[in-house]
Copies of this chain bind each other. A is one copy, B any other.
Amino acid sequence: MSGQSIGAVQTQRAHFDQPLTLRSGAVLPAYDLVYETYGTLNAAKSNAILVCHALSGHHHLAGYYADAPDNIGWWDNIVGPGRPLDTDRYFIVSVNNLGGCHGSTGPSTINPASGKPWGADFPIVAVIDWVHAQARLADRLGIDCWAAVMGGSLGGMQALRWTITYPERIRHAIVIAAAPKLSAQNIAFNDVARQAILTDPDFHGGHYYEHNTRPTRGLRLARMLGHITYLSDDQMGEKFGRDPKNGAFAFNFGVEFEIESYLRYQGDKFAGYFDANTYLLMTKALDYFDPSREENGDLTATMARSKAGFLIVSFTTDWRFSPARSKEIVAALLANGGDVSYAEIDLNFGHDSFLMRDAHYHSVIGAYLRNIKL
């Protein structure tokens, strides 16, 4: 794989005093956003790319911190000099979304009105709220129009929303492993995950910070369940099989199969650092996302508002947001005579494919970005 890491990076913080009216009707009087930038904004300010994160992501997209060299960004493999998101050419912006738990204002930050963590009092946020907040950050950075907004999964939904809500401020959208809205089954998985958290006795109605506890049991279950939907059935079979982990079965409730070990490890790790209230909010943002509601469910009419060029990418083994879901977006764009490229990548990592380093996949992204005129 060509290209290099961007190297050591720094997190920045922006405070916003102007109230933000949310999709729910609630008003956030003020808020902070933490973000990172890589590369240099050109004089014409025409080379900025916004990368949006998914459910458990954050602003630390690429590089590492000088004082924590092992803390490498979640999509480092695609960002850097000579990489598809080429920092020699582009100015990359990555922001932790409102409601997050990595520094931006969210349930675990202090509510000025109470002097205590927001907890369950933090309002429900929607994808459109994140897009409005990102637009204000763009204003702050002097970016009138993004060369591109992109992301995978929930990140792709933000890119899609940008093209509808701010058609004059985005020239290209790269929407990867996403869907125009969740299916009932997608919502069902999210609801089981939420119920695991909401019914954990340590949840305390979302005010667990004050009880010096955390609903780790529920969050662990939510993450275990999530992982099943991120991987493909085939990949799970190839990677973990179903032979006894220890040669023979013990006939108890310990680990009998490799997949149990993997899921429990992933669940424990995640529950150790992620905030349960943020997890709840992110899954709700997924559930509510459906821009076509503004046009009575007509996705074609909705996408007619967009003026952006599109690259839509899906993965053959993704059953969370299958290629068929991406093609719904493609069809709506084509029906409007829109400028759309579509790539269906044959990768065996299910929904998680979008995070993988794969030469073909990365060449598709890289080629699209190289062809954008600055």
Contact = CB atoms under 8 A, between A and B. Distances in A.
Contact of A187 (B198, B199, B259): B259
Interface string A110-127: 000000000000011000
Contacts of A201: 201
Given A191-B224, A251-B24, A263-B192, A184 B236 contact: yes
Contacts of A199: 217, 220-221
A264 interface: yes
A245 to B, nearest CB: 11
A205 to B, nearest CB: 10
Given A217-B199, A221-B221, A252 B124 contact: yes
A196 B221 contact: yes
Interface string A274-294: 000000100010011010000
A240 interface: yes
Given A196-B221, A201-B201, A290-B242, A236 B24 contact: no
A371 interface: no
Given A183-B242, A242-B183, A264-B195, A188 B221 contact: no
B228 A260 contact: no
Nearest to A190: B260
A212 interface: no
Nearest to A223: B192
Contacts of A16: none
Nearest to A24: B251
A217 B26 CA distance: 31
How many copies of the polypeptide does the oligomer hold?
A: 2
Contact of A183 (B217, B233, B251, B287): B233
Interface string A202-245: 00000000000000010011001101100101001101111000
A181 interface: yes
Interface residues of A, number: 55
Contacts of A257: 184, 187, 191, 287
A182 interface: yes
Contacts of A192: 221, 224-225, 228, 263
Most buried by B among A124, A239, A260, A284: A260
B280 A185 contact: no
A194 interface: yes
A342 interface: no
Interface of A: 23-26, 123-124, 181-185, 187-189, 191-192, 194-196, 198-201, 217, 220-221, 224-225, 227-228, 231, 233, 236-237, 239-242, 249, 251-253, 256-260, 263-264, 267, 280, 284, 287-288, 290
